[in-house]
Structure 1
Amino acid sequence: MVQRMQAKSPAEQETAVRLEFEEYYREKAPWDNGVTPPELVALVEREPAGRALELGCGTGTNAVYLAEHGWEVVGVDLIERAIEQARAKADAAGVSAQLLLGDATRLVELAVGDGFSLVFDLSCFCAIPAHRRDGYAAGVTRATAPGANLLMFGYGPDALPDKIFGVTADELRTRFSDWDLVDVTPGTNPFPTFWFTLRRR
């Protein structure tokens, strides 16, 4: 996956991350297989459709899937090329989804709205620098309704060489103080990954 030299400061780290993701989306990002994860499919099959917020939506595979299954979808990604591809994918599928270019740690500035019953995160949070993660948690909490689900896929802190990546169950319990961590399931990758399910109180 992602390998890069450690930057000297948090600002340089963030710039390095963004530039690398921009480079990936000029071609085909290696993680963008166009298939909705079975973990999300299982949740959609058991939960009534509502408002869904996808953070780090990439080229829109999962946003389109959710829209096709009756969800009102807002997707957010930091990379302009990814959002352009997501909008094209939604148009091609004939579905409506609000796909926004922006920072998942600054949702208030994006005016995503509130009342979401589902937040989906496919390795977005684990790529956010530690000093911005409380902003992510606060924004998600503000945007969701009580009883909302947050389904998050993340790499363990030792899965990749750059420590900007990684998340643990203990960190989620601490940062998401208004949520219960109801399930942690190891991923099937050859390095440590996890599916976390949180439910807002």
Structure 2
Amino acid sequence: MDQQEVAVRRELEEYYRAGRPPWDTGVTPPELIALVEGPGALPPGRALELGCGTGTNAVYLAGHGWDVVAVDLIEQAAGQARAKAAAAGARDAVRVLCGDATRLDELDAPGPYDLFFDLSCYCGIPPHRRDDYAGGVTRRAAPGARLLMFGYGPGAFDADLFAGVTADELRARFAGWELTDVTPGTNPVPTFWFTLRKE
């Protein structure tokens, strides 16, 4: 782990020590709800959540018939996600792993998955590790799989720690995927919802 990765991990751990981090609202975003429940909703299958935080969205997916593996880098977050799944009666449908989303081959998460969900995990990964994230996701993607990603754009935070993400970058890094939608967020800082589909 290099210095930038160590710094990012420390920053994330500090957010959890101080209380609920700003990205972990405890509310499932409407973009995920639309994908699961809206017109043309995906049929339940296998989902991998990257950067699951305290497990709100993993539990939501399990409640709608999905078999979920949820990954978070921070042990405190993973522990809270396990407890939340157990409290919701979803222990059998949600498996929480503490690990690095750029090192999926080291985790017990072989796939294939029909849905990948990322609520601001990728945008916090140092750029030199992002190909590993994209490769790990791609190797686990079923044909036609979806990746729904929320990301902060460049300039949203300290660029030394959080580089942000753009549509052009996702097109370049995710070979074999089609970027089907980019929706700007409503935050005061630049944010986006990206939807990719595995070809």
TM-score, normalised via structure 2 length: 0.94
Instruction: Answer yes or no: is 1:128 the counterpart of 2:120.
Output: no
Residue among 70, 77, 88 paired with 2:65? 70
After TM superposition, the runs of 4+ consecutive aligned structure 1 residues lying more than 4 A away are none
Letter in 2 for 1:23: E
CA RMSD, 1 decimal? 1.1
Give aligned-pair identity as a percent. 69
2:155 to 155, 158, 162: 158
Aligned to 1:6: none
Could you say which residue in structure 2 is the equivalent of 1:141? Answer: 138
In the TM superposition, 1:96-135 aligns within 5 A as 96-135=93-132
Deviation at 1:31, TM superposition (A): 2.3
Find the counterpart in structure 2 of residue 30 from structure 1: 22
Would the aligned equivalents of 2:127 and 2:163 in 1 still touch at CA under 8 Å?
Answer: no
Amino acid at match of 1:151: L
Unaligned runs of 5+ in 2: none
Deviations along 1:62-98, one digit per CA (max 9) or x if unpaired, are 0000001100000000000000000000000000301
Q: Deviations over 1:7-35 (max 9, x none)?
A: xxx82221111011111112221222100
Paired position in structure 2 for 1:55? 50
**5+ residue gaps, structure 1:** 1-9
SS of structure 2 residue aligned to 1:57:
coil
| 1:86 counterpart SS class | helix
Q: Structure 1: which amino acid aligns with 2:165?
A: V
User: For 2:50 and 2:23, how far apart are their aligned partners in 1?
Assistant: 15
Deviation digits for residues 112-139 of structure 1 (CA, Å, limit 9, x no counterpart): 0212000000000000001100000000
One of 12, 19, 23 as aligned partner of 2:10: 19
Question: How far apart in 2 are the matches of 1:71 and 1:49?
Answer: 5
Residue in structure 2 matched with residue 5 of structure 1 by the alignment:
none
- Matched pairs, number: 192
